[in-house]
Structure 1
Amino acid sequence: MALDGLDHMELEESKGGSGLRQYYLSKIEELQLTVNEKSQNLRRLQAQRNELNAKVRLLREELQLLQEQGSYVGEVVRAMDKKKVLVKVTPNCRVALRNDSYTLHKILPNKVDPLVSLMMVEKVPDSTYEMIGGLDKQIKEIKEVIELPVKHPELFEALGIAQPKVEWST
């Protein structure tokens, strides 16, 4: 006849009760390990929650800044005193004004078209075709497409091809 858990405990209890005590001590130890694991998991999750809450707070602040209305740009006409100026709403000396109170809050740099600033060459390169290695095919294409129409327009006129409008400065 097989002994189930209850019969086993009765058998141990009849042997002096130390078996039941051991059983409960092992169960207590098991449950304490489970509680410790759950506590560690809880602390990890709380730290993760705090980190995510901090990110949410930063994102809300950023969103609020993005939703603020923009500023107007105005031209300083005349300085009234140290902290007040008369401003005209056309650019020359550019300043940023608060949208609600029209108070000056930032002096802006002179207006420069960003496309123009991207096209400006700050330093003229002193490279020649001879300095470029391994690009013979590309150099040949550049010479055919850009230099040839400028240096020998008669070739293109004879073929009836319109040459590109390029100003060549040497």
Structure 2
Amino acid sequence: LHALRRVLGSRPALSDVQVMNRVKVTTSDLRLAMTEVKPSAMREVAIDVPKVRWSDIGGMEEVKLALKQAVDWPLRHPEAFIRLGITPPRGVLLYGPPGCSKTMIAKALANESQLNFLSIKGPELLSKYVGESERAVREVFRKARTVAPSIIFFDEIDALAVARGSSHAGGVGDRVLAQLLTEMDGIEQLKDVTVLAATNRPDMIDKALMRPGRLDRVIFVPLPDAETRRQIFTLQFRNMPIHPSLHLEDLVTRTERYSGAEITAVCREAALQALQENIAAEHVTDTHFLAALDAVTPRIPQSLLQAYEKYQREHGGARA
């Protein structure tokens, strides 16, 4: 139909025979069709993939590279993995303080990879009825295999994969974890399906899930450093009229220990300060940002950051 519309749009006066002779389906027609026709197996779990790109995330270059290695490389260069006799990473765990772009990274991966993306919120699979939670986990992986290559994203996976023996809900947590472990690395092979998980509490996740072959890559996403904060401010300033006298480096210095979400909140609060001062304001100035920094303070305690650093020392994992 795309090919037919293209021919009729360029030469509307052609006869039926001439149209049939001219219509040729091209690769671009097939690509357009694939954007409109979705796999039927994805209808129940289809989500509107946000238009977030890698360029919308400031810094985090090591995290982006690790995700490209786990998702893009096996699809784009399968012969390289075969040549070296290795299997691609099966899963990636992102952990770190709240507000450090873990979920946003998953959104960018869903958009950039153009793969079928199944987003699962940890607690939504749990049910009070015996066997229902395990069936829900099994169904997620069945759909992912059906529409492979695909990505399963578990947000707040600590709610779903809590360490065995620590659950008090009639053993539901232990059974769900057992089902998750067998789905990821059991008798039935998980082919062309990548598992991406995010958590703020890596210490609560069962150790069996963290071994190679399940969550191969464990990546710490720390608070943004100076360069990352500079990039976050630059991205925020794209749509914000900033007064020429504003000193970006001064803001970068003042926002040490701020998370990415808190830096975004600072920019939003500064714009609101400008509107509060004058509803017809055309620029956001240094004064507005100073007031915003007083209103939005870092909320991640030092004790939590030390706990992450201790976990990283004990369990390894790349650092973003």
TM-based fold match above 0.5: no
When Rg is computed on C-alpha atoms for both structures, the one with the higher figure is 1
Identify the structure with bigger relative contact order (alpha carbons < 8 Å, sequence gap 6+).
Answer: 2
- TM-score of the two chains, using structure 2 as the length reference: 0.15
- TM-score of the two chains, using structure 1 as the length reference: 0.26
